[in-house]
Amino acid sequence: MTDIIPLVSAAYSDRLSRRTESAIPEVWNLLDEVKDPEIPALSIWDLGVLNGVEQQDDEIFISITPTYSGCPAMGTISDDIGRVLSQSGYSRFSIKLLLAPAWTTDWMSPEGRIKLREYGIAPPENCQQGACQKIACPHCGSTNTETISEFGSTACKALHRCQDCDEPFDYFKSI
Amino acid sequence: MAEVNKQAIQDYATRLGDDAVVIGHRVSEWCSKGPFLEEDLALQNVALDFIGRARMFYSYAAELANDGRKEDDFAYMRDHREYQNLLLMELPRGDFAYTMVRQLLVDVFNLYYLEQLQQSSDETLSAIAGKAIKETRYHLRRSSEWVLRLGLGTEESKKRAQTALDDLWGFTHEMFDLDALEQQLADAGIGVDNTSLQAAWTTQVKSILEEATLIPPEDEWKVKGGREGYHTEFLGQMLNEMQCVHRANPGLEW
């Protein structure tokens, strides 16, 4: 068999194998409790921010990748990781910010995309530099939608409107 | 590869931080003054991207300095003569056309600049560039669309866009200069050779302007000095506002 059709992006697949092959899966699972403060439907795993959990001796090393350069949520996310770890009895840990490789929406988990849509935000589509014309409305599913503004309520979102159900909605930009 | 000391990379990262924080602050001045709500939000998001970029450059400079200073000390505790941003970044925001024309000129420059900086042999500079360029592509899409709308819009919008272009053009030449520090870092494969970017920048900017029926000004005058710490009168005033809270409450964090 030569042709294998991947169901998830290669970038996500790499992340997933880091998690499934980890020696300490319980810490990855624990950190599913840490949500994006702006979009609480998504865990930092779903969002693609959590990228490494390792242990050396009795210290836990967490690697997170910031989404947008100026995203103010990163501070809160670091604090929340620290709180969750401390509450579960992990006293020695450090959190490292990784700049490279740069965060991409390709890292978002398939579950995260579903949760985003259920939350009312259209998930990122795979297209060049976010220049997608046909974004499906998260409310009624119609692709008869238009862009209102390239930027929405946070750096990671753009504003769109559905021309069938008339509802405005946020679109999680693809970068 | 030529030997480059840490101080040179620190100075380079600092001036890139200066460029980003100054233009970021200027764009942030639109907060609650945008022409309509969505545009107000968009401008703040762009400002945030630039300020985030400044934080990354300043944090790296602080790491190299290793003298106890943090990113905030670079932003808030240096005076205008110590700032080495390009003059184009510090000019007052003007009207909406002025801001959008400037963003276009800066975004096209950043696109080519960051592409090169991504090739830097310095891992951190390369990583910051890799992150920032994604945002710059997005910024450019928006600023070029706005310049088209302004140029092809009403007589008034076209007049304002053309005036902005005429006022700003002489400040663009500084982007393609190379001083001793930049030359040294470019030679070492760490920094960008800005002179190599001018042809591509000019071609792309002129093609957008042509589509917008705006007339690229002649290269009649140029103003320079930012990289040496010689600024327009506007930077000192801007820094005064930007830094006053921090200086009144040194070390305060929330």
Of the partner residues A72, A102, A150, the one whose CB lies closest to the CB of residue B42: A150
Res. B227: pLDDT tops 50: yes
Mean pLDDT of B224-228: 96
Mean pLDDT of B126-137: 95
Q: Go through the domains of chain B in sequence order and give each one's CATH number.
A: 6-217+227-248 (1.20.1260.10)
Whether A115 is covered by a domain: the verdict is no
Whether A2 is covered by a domain: the verdict is no
Whether A1 is covered by a domain: the verdict is no
Range of the domain at A50: 10-107
B254 band by pLDDT with thresholds 50, 70 and 90? low
Res. A87: pLDDT tops 90: yes
Helix (H, G, I), strand (E, B) or coil at A51: strand
Whether A136 is covered by a domain: the verdict is yes
Of the partner residues A68, A70, A148, the one whose CB lies closest to the CB of residue B38: A148
Query: Do A25 and A98 fall into the same domain?
Result: yes
**ipTM of this complex:** 0.77
Q: Give pLDDT, residue B143.
A: 96
Measured in angstroms, the CA of A56 and the nearest CA of chain B are apart by: 24
Whether A87 is covered by a domain: the verdict is yes
A37-41, A119-123, B8-12, range with greatest mean pLDDT: B8-12
Query: Do A43 and A79 fall into the same domain?
Result: yes
pLDDT tens string A56-86: 999 999 999 998 888 888 889 999 999 999 9
Q: Give pLDDT, residue A127.
A: 62
Q: Do B138 and A175 touch (CB under 8 A)?
A: yes
pLDDT tens string A154-169: 888 999 999 999 999 9
For residue A152, what are its two tokens?
């929405």
Q: Do A175 and B134 touch (CB under 8 A)?
A: yes
B134 band by pLDDT with thresholds 50, 70 and 90? very high
Enumerate residues 15 to 34 of chain A having a beta carbon within 8 A of any beta carbon in chain B: none
pLDDT tens string B234-247: 999 999 999 999 99
What's the mean pLDDT when you consider all of chain B?
Answer: 95
Q: Give pLDDT, residue B31.
A: 95
pLDDT tens string B93-103: 999 999 999 99
Query: Do A93 and A135 fall into the same domain?
Result: no
Decide if A45 touches B, using CB distance below 8 A.
Answer: no
The total number of structural domains that make up chain A: 2
Domain C-terminal end among A74, A107, A140: A107
CATH number at A38 reads 3.30.300.130
Query: Do A102 and A127 fall into the same domain?
Result: no
B1 band by pLDDT with thresholds 50, 70 and 90? very low
Whether A114 is covered by a domain: the verdict is no
Asked whether the beta carbons of B23 and B50 are under 8 A apart, the reply is yes
Higher pLDDT, A131 or B186: B186
User: Cβ neighbours of residue B232 under 8 Å, at least 6 residues apart?
Assistant: B87, B90, B91, B223
Set of chain B residues whose Cβ sits within 8 Å of the Cβ of A130: 138
Asked whether the beta carbons of A109 and A29 are under 8 A apart, the reply is no
For residue A41, what are its two tokens?
């439907």
Mean pLDDT of B118-131: 96
Of the partner residues B48, B126, B132, the one whose CB lies closest to the CB of residue A155: B48
Domain C-terminal end among A58, A78, A107: A107
Whether A43 is covered by a domain: the verdict is yes
Enter the pTM of the model. Answer: 0.89
Least confident of A85-89, A127-131, A133-137, B50-54: A127-131
DSSP string spanning chain B? -----HHHHHHHHHHHHHHHHHHHHHHHTTTTTSSSHHHHHHHHHHHHHHHHHHHHHHHHHHHHH-SS--HHHHHHS--TTT----HHHHS---SHHHHHHHHHHHHHHHHHHHHHHTT-SSHHHHHHHHHHHHHHHHHHHHHHHHHHHHHHS-HHHHHHHHHHHHHHGGGSGGGG---HHHHHHHHTTSS--GGGGHHHHHHHHHHHHHHTTPPPPPS------GGGT---HHHHHHHHHHHHHHHHSTT---
Whether A113 is covered by a domain: the verdict is no
